[in-house]
């Protein structure tokens, strides 16, 4: 459904996307996971015909994004990272104009409007000006709008930024239901690790390059076992001892240390016996995609930074939409 | 058919937004009214044009000019909303839709000109107060001309707006393009007996012909007519139509060219 070959995009003095290639099958949910500035939005814009690739090729639904723009646009739906509603119109009008631009018959439009508004729990607010919506309601309306014309491929650029966890979960439920019923292929970007686990396959992108591409389960297997987080007074000495006594390589993560071991639960008693006095606390976790990212890039997609960034974005939206 | 539908959609959005913004309507009516009252009355006593026919009042002179002004500003304002749309993101939603860019440009030009024409037509209601009698046919002709002028100016605005990245550039455009176009058009004061370079500029200003067309239709055949009108109506109509075509072409191309 999506076929990307050696796609490159340069801006004046920097290369945002450095020759990425991947394929997405029909009905699949494919996720792009990466930190800020990794090139996720740039890639999505190229696939949605809004930016011309510097080189390389991309086909959507069999159509070339450069030479068959109109066909591509007919095949896709798009939820942008930044707001794109007309705030001075009502929710219904925003959906209506979308339907007009995408050639949805008016009979069909009525039915689908109810359906998508129901899905994002905005049915009662159809006649209200978008200007009076909260940030989360606006986001939900944008997602509803993306589904309105039942695109073959739906692009979601960080769809749930700024939404609370319940809404996020809810939206994911709809996405899965609609995807199955309408056979929609979904390409999404995110920097929420837990959100990426909704995908069938994930590509981790960093500095414009795909670092790895696989299913979430396989990616987690790459971590090779359980992750033990240790907090200690002296990180360096604990790191040295771990290396010396167990041959384990620990990495600093936040204030503590992380190590991977095969059998987390069984390792803890051994660890306490050997080094109990150096350690303040220990936790065992099954690996998450955060750990995969940490392992592959040596850096974290730091959640606390992400949330301040979200706040900034939500703030920027508000300011923009006074 | 799908093209028409896209043009209609973009047009409808502008019209809905216009009717929803009550303060904007008031503001854009208030300004010309103020001009009409202050300048029309204030200057009328001091402003004597040598050789003016009896019954001439300055307010007769500026009335069509003020209507032209209202159309000019409203049309530019509508076109500039493209920049807002870009800033607020709505433009992206339109650009990613499966409709050709030219339908967006044309829809926008029609939307802007409809709104501008509506503004102008409200000012026409003032005619009796000013002592200008207009027949229904004259009003229709005036509306037609207003639509063409508004379409041309909105298209010019779109050409500029599609190049603009932010609202900051807007003031510059206003000061160095729109205001000179307005003052040179002879809307507010007659450009007669001015230096020849200024007269040349006045003849190059497309708005001159728009204002002149309005005066032509309002006053031709009255004693005022021969005095106020500068060019034959045919010339005026030709120039404003050519201008409309030229600018809508330019606007479409400029809009298409955006990545
Ligand atoms: N129009 C542009 N002009 C110049 N540089 C750009 C432009 N758009 C993006 N970039 C640069 O390209 C890089 C990738 O940006 P992109 O928006 O694709 O990142 P992202 O992965 O979507 O990040 P985020 O998670 O913050 O949305 C960034 O370094 C950014 O500064
Ligand atoms: Mg992005």
DSSP secondary structure, A47-107, as one string: HTTSS--SEEEEEETTEETTTTHHHHHHHEEEE-SS----TTSBHHHHHHHHHHHTT--HH
Chain A closest-CA separation from residue B77 CA (Å): 16
Ligand number, closest to the Cα atom of A36: 1
| CA-wise closest residue to B117 among B149, B161, B152 | B149
A contact test, residue of B90, B95, B108 with most A CBs within 10 A: B90
A45 lines ligand 1 (CB under 6 A): no
A156-186: per-residue pLDDT in tens?
A: 999 887 788 887 888 888 888 888 888 899 9
Q: How far is the CA of A187 from the centre of ligand 2 (A)?
A: 13
A276-318: per-residue pLDDT in tens?
A: 888 888 888 877 777 777 777 777 665 444 444 444 444 444 4
Nearest CA in chain B to A73: B98
Buried b (16+ CB within 10 A) or exposed e, A182-204: eebbbbbbbbbbebbbbbebbbb
Contacts with A45 from chain B: Cβ below 8 Å = none
Query: How many CB atoms within 10 Å of residue A233?
Result: 10
Atom 25 in ligand 1: residue holding the nearest Cα: A36
What φ, ψ does residue A38 adopt, rounded to 5°? -70, -20
By most ligand atoms within 8 Å of CB, the mutation choice from A8, A9, A11, A205 for ligand 1 is: A11
- CA–CA dist A309, A97 (Å, integer): 32
Residue B67 near residue B120 (C-beta atoms within 8 A): yes
Query: How many CB atoms within 10 Å of residue A103?
Result: 15
Q: Name the band, by pLDDT with cuts 50, 70 and 90, for residue B204.
A: confident
Lowest mean pLDDT among A208-212, A318-322, B152-156: A318-322
- CA–CA dist B207, B184 (Å, integer): 8
Average pLDDT, chain B: 84
The pLDDT of residue B61 is 82
What is this model's ipTM? 0.84
* Domain ranges in chain A with CATH number 3.30.70.260: 225-286
Q: What percent of chain A is modeled with pLDDT above 90?
A: 46
The third-level CATH classification (topology) of the domain covering A225-286 is: Alpha-Beta Plaits (3.30.70)
Contacts with B100 from chain A: Cβ below 8 Å = 70
Chain A closest-CA separation from residue B10 CA (Å): 8
| CA-wise closest residue to A225 among A284, A290, A283 | A284
The pLDDT of residue B197 is 87
Q: Name the band, by pLDDT with cuts 50, 70 and 90, for residue A320.
A: very low
Domain ranges of chain B: 2-44+53-256
A242-285: per-residue pLDDT in tens?
A: 888 888 888 887 778 888 887 778 888 888 888 888 888 888 88
A37 lines ligand 1 (CB under 6 A): yes
Q: How far is the CA of A41 from the centre of ligand 1 (A)?
A: 7
Query: Parallel, antiparallel, or unpaired: how do β-strands A153-157 and A55-60 relate?
Result: unpaired
Q: Of A84-98, A152-166, B152-166, which has the strongest mean pLDDT?
A: A84-98
Ligand number, closest to the Cα atom of A207: 1
**B32 SS3 class:** helix
Which of B8, B96, B98 minimises the CB distance to A50? Answer: B96
pTM exceeding the 0.90 threshold for the entire prediction: no
CATH superfamily, domain at A2-216: P-loop containing nucleotide triphosphate hydrolases (3.40.50.300)
A305 lines ligand 1 (CB under 6 A): no
């Amino acid at each position: 459904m999506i076929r990307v070959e050696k796609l490159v995009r340069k801006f004046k003095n920097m290369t945002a996307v450095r020759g990425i290639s991947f394929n997405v099958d029909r009905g699949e949910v494919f996720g792009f996971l990466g930190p800020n500035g990794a090139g996720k939005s740039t890639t999505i814009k190229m696939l949605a015909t809004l930016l011309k690739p510097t080189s390389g090729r991309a086909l959507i639904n069999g159509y070339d994004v450069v030479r068959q723009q109109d066909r591509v646009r007919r095949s896709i739906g798009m939820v942008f990272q930044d707001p794109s509603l007309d705030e001075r119109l009502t929710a219904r009008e925003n959906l209506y104009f979308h339907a007009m631009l995408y050639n949805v018959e008016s009979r069909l439009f009525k039915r689908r409007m109810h359906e998508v508004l129901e899905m994002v729990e905005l049915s009662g607010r159809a006649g209200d000006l978008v200007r009076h919506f909260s940030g989360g309601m606006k986001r939900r309306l944008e997602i509803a709008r993306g589904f309105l014309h039942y695109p073959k491929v739906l692009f979601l650029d960080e769809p749930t930024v700024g939404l609370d966890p319940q809404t996020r979960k809810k939206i994911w439920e709809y996405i899965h239901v609609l995807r199955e019923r309408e056979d929609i292929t979904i390409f999404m970007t995110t920097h929420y690790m837990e959100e990426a686990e909704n995908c069938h396959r994930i590509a981790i992108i960093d500095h414009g390059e795909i670092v790895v591409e696989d299913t979430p389960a396989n990616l987690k297997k790459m971590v090779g076992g359980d992750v033990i987080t240790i907090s200690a007074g002296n990180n360096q000495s604990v790191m040295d001892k771990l290396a010396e006594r167990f041959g384990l390589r620990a990495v600093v993560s936040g204030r503590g240390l992380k190590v991977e071991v095969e059998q987390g639960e069984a390792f803890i008693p051994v660890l306490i016996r050997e080094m109990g006095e150096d350690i303040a606390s220990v936790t065992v976790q099954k690996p998450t995609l955060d750990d995969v990212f940490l392992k592959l890039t040596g850096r974290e997609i730091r959640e606390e930074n992400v949330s301040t960034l979200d706040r900034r974005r939500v703030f920027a939206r508000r300011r923009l939409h006074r | 058919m799908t093209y028409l539908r896209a043009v209609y959609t973009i047009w409808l959005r502008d019209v809905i937004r216009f009717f929803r913004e009550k303060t904007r309507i008031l503001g854009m009516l208030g300004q010309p009214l103020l001009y009409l009252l202050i300048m029309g009355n204030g200057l009328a006593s001091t402003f004597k044009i040598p050789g003016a026919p009896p019954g001439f009042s300055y307010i007769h002179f500026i009335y069509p000019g003020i209507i032209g002004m209202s159309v000019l500003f409203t049309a530019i304002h509508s076109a500039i909303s493209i920049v807002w749309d870009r800033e607020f993101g709505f433009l992206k939603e339109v650009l990613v839709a499966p409709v050709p860019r030219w339908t967006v440009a044309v829809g926008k030009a029609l939307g802007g000109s409809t709104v501008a024409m509506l503004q102008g037509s409200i000012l026409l209601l003032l005619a009796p107060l000013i002592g200008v009698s207009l027949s229904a046919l004259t009003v229709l002709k005036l509306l037609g001309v207003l639509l063409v002028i508004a379409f041309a100016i909105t298209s010019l605005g779109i050409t500029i707006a599609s190049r603009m990245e932010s609202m900051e550039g807007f003031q510059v455009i206003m000061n160095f393009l729109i205001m000179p176009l307005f003052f040179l058009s002879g809307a507010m004061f007659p450009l007669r007996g001015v230096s020849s370079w200024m007269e040349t500029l006045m003849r190059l200003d497309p708005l001159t012909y728009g204002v002149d067309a309005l005066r032509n239709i309002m006053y031709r055949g009255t004693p005022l007519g021969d005095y106020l009108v500068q060019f034959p109506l045919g010339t005026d109509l030709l120039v404003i139509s050519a201008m409309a075509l030229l600018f809508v072409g330019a606007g479409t191309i400029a809009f298409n060219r955006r990545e």
